[in-house]
Amino acid sequence: MPTSTQTTEADPAGAPQPSAQAAPAKAPKAVVRPGDRIFSGATLAAGILILLTLAGVALFLLAQSSETIEAQLTDPSAITGGNGFFAYVWPLVIGTLVSSAIALVVATPFALGIALFTTHMAPRRLAPALGYVIDLLAAIPSVVYGLWGLTLAGNLTGFYQWLATWFGWIPIFAPDADGAISSTGRTLLTASLVLSIMILPIITSLTREIFLQTPRLQEEAALALGATRWEMIRMAVLPFGKSGIASATMLGLGRALGETMAVAMILSPGLLTASLLVSGNQTIASEIAQNFPEAAGLRLSELISIGLVLFVITLLVNMAARAIVAKTSVKGS
Amino acid sequence: MSKQIDIKDLDIYYGDFQAVDDVSMHIKPRSVTAFIGPSGCGKSTVLRTLNRMHEVIPGASVKGEVLMDGNNIYGAGVDPVNVRREVGMVFQRANPFPTMSIKENVLAGVRLNNKRMSKTDADDLTERALKGANLWNEVKDRLNLPGSGLSGGQQQRLCIARAIAVEPEVLLMDEPCSALDPISTLAIEDLINDLKDKYTVVIVTHNMQQAARVSDKTAFFNIAGTGKPGKLIEFNETSTIFSNPDKEETENYISGRFG
């Protein structure tokens, strides 16, 4: 102890410090190498390109929507439905949000389970194969999911009937006024279930990567305290992966919001209804896809402006995801 | 409270590679035993077999017996989870749970045993464990702040508090001071001296002075060459190892001469 105090006292008095006084007078010019300059320029250009693209899309949507905005201001009855733009768009927004939310609620627990299984539970030889199969799910084109969903819809009608019989008192499972449900099963619930399978791989593979990054030291700390495998996951893996799980689900939500083809093929669209078991409801993406081929003039502008609404929703979802990640990040050790 | 450990003909493998060959030793209860030797000689590996943490590594396996008060922890039907609840461990780098407060870190192991504790019991235990780890005075005013905000030495003592809060029979320490400054090292060494009144302590260290300072008995491990298994060369009273070892190999290592 005494030696250390002596040295700290002796130091400033003994040694003069010319460098500290000389430095502010004339800062030496940093050497810039051409390779560095080219690389920094290239990366800057790439970064700016992203911003330009985003701004370009937003501007395009806004410009093309001008006709709808004009109609909304002068003659709202000209817009589809006859009650103005917002009356037209809000059922679509609700349909989009509800189907995505259901997909998320169904898919997330499965995705987390699969990710935990492949990273911490599965036998070492099985885990990579399983991860590979999950990634393959992501490679299936959405048209194929749509075709599969149509078959699924027919087979789900029995289950829907059962739901309507026993849980019909819950508005979302209520049959229509005649006491019937959709005979084809092509309802928003079917579309949501297919969506959940479509977003399953993205959530699974992202959370799997995050769970793999759990510091080994944290896992061993829990195990050495006598934690079982599940307790170790709860103490070390899940707290560490919290922000990653949040961002993975948000990315899944983003995919579900924008998914078009499968929903357009499965859902037989109609007016907004609370029940998920009767045909009706529509999502924004599917509305655009189904009406775009014959649309012209004001109708075309309407479709583009609901596209703008979808664009804003996904932008908000991504911003929310960012905020959640920033708030829940754990400092890794 | 504390148990004696008998290691009998222990061979340790990583997959097909044999890391440690035929170790046998007897460790007395309420004593400090130091494992020393060059890097890669298997001393940490042996330590990790004492609470079955070795098998956490994929492909790792063990042959032979480790008896705690006569019960083989590698016997049929022994749950490694129960072994680890009786044998606490402190790691090379401090690893408090980053999302938990200081208090939650101390209680983490106890909460695992699904004990429902009253708040006063929990507070008492926290205080006792932190006092046992010589940390109480430094953190008593910030028990609800995250453990990751402490200094390295404090974090390591927090990990010791976490390990002793479950009142283990044996405490294993894997180079607990290798990432710490001399002052924090001194604090931990003093603590080890106190801990041996209650626990059987086994410590792996690269620092021979540390082994000489804290331990009653010392085991010297060595390795014949890369790819060869590590062996227990000599296990003796610490004073004997550092003054007049039986084996020339030990003498060479202690005095800094090799080969």
Digitized pLDDT (tens) for each residue of chain A, 333 residues in all: 344 444 444 444 444 444 444 445 567 778 888 999 999 999 999 999 999 999 999 999 999 999 898 888 888 888 888 888 888 898 999 999 999 999 999 999 999 999 999 988 888 788 888 888 888 888 889 899 999 999 988 888 888 888 888 888 888 888 877 777 888 888 889 999 999 999 999 999 899 989 999 998 999 999 999 898 899 999 899 988 888 898 899 889 988 998 888 888 888 888 888 788 888 888 899 999 989 888 888 889 999 999 999 999 999 988 888 888 887 776 544
Q: Is B203 left (phi over 0), alpha (psi -120 to 50) or beta?
A: beta
Taking the CA of residue B198 and the nearest CA in chain A, the distance in Å comes to 18
Tokens of A184: 């084809």
Q: Write down the pTM of the prediction.
A: 0.79
CB pairs under 8 A between A and B: 74
Helix axes B119-132, B102-112, angle to 10 degrees: 110
Tokens of A45: 């250009």
| Residue scoring higher pLDDT (A168 or B104) | B104
Order of strands, edge to edge, in the sheet holding B87-90?
Answer: B71-72, B60-68, B5-14, B17-27, B230-237, B217-223, B32-36, B200-204, B170-174, B87-90
Q: What is the pLDDT of residues B5-46, one digit of tens each?
A: 999 999 999 989 999 999 999 999 999 999 999 988 889 999
> What residues of B are in contact with residue A223 (Cβ under 8 Å)?
53, 56, 84
Taking the CA of residue A14 and the nearest CA in chain B, the distance in Å comes to 26
Instruction: Please enumerate in sequence order all residues whose Cβ is within 8 A of that of B138, keeping only pairs 6 or more positions apart, or say none.
Output: B154
Comparing CA positions, the residue from A203, A242, A230 lying closest to residue A103 is A203
B98 and A124: CB-CB below 8 Å? no
Identify the H or E element spanning A139.
helix A126-139
> Looking at residue A331, what is its pLDDT?
54
> Looking at residue A7, what is its pLDDT?
42
| Facing A231 at nearest CB: one of B82, B83, B112 | B112
> What residues of B are in contact with residue A124 (Cβ under 8 Å)?
58
B91 and A221: CB-CB below 8 Å? yes
Instruction: Please enumerate in sequence order all residues whose Cβ is within 8 A of that of A204, keeping only pairs 6 or more positions apart, or say none.
Output: A110, A111, A114, A115, A134
Taking the CA of residue B95 and the nearest CA in chain A, the distance in Å comes to 6
B97 and A239: CB-CB below 8 Å? yes
Helices (H), chain B: 43-49, 80-86, 102-112, 119-132, 136-139, 152-165, 182-195, 208-214, 238-243, 248-254
Put simply, the chain A residues between 51 and 110 with a CB less than 8 A from any chain B CB are none
Taking the CA of residue A135 and the nearest CA in chain B, the distance in Å comes to 24
Instruction: Confirm if A106 and A196 have CB atoms less than 8 A apart.
Output: yes
- Which is it for strands B71-72 and B87-90: parallel, antiparallel or unpaired? unpaired
Q: Is A255 left (phi over 0), alpha (psi -120 to 50) or beta?
A: alpha
- Residue B12 to residue B29: CA distance in whole angstroms: 24
A221 and B159: CB-CB below 8 Å? yes
Is A125 in CB contact (< 8 Å) with chain B? no
> Looking at residue B203, what is its pLDDT?
95
> What residues of B are in contact with residue A219 (Cβ under 8 Å)?
56
Identify the H or E element spanning B22.
strand B17-27
Is B164 in CB contact (< 8 Å) with chain A? no
Unique residue bearing structure tokens 């590698």 = B74
Q: Is B100 left (phi over 0), alpha (psi -120 to 50) or beta?
A: beta
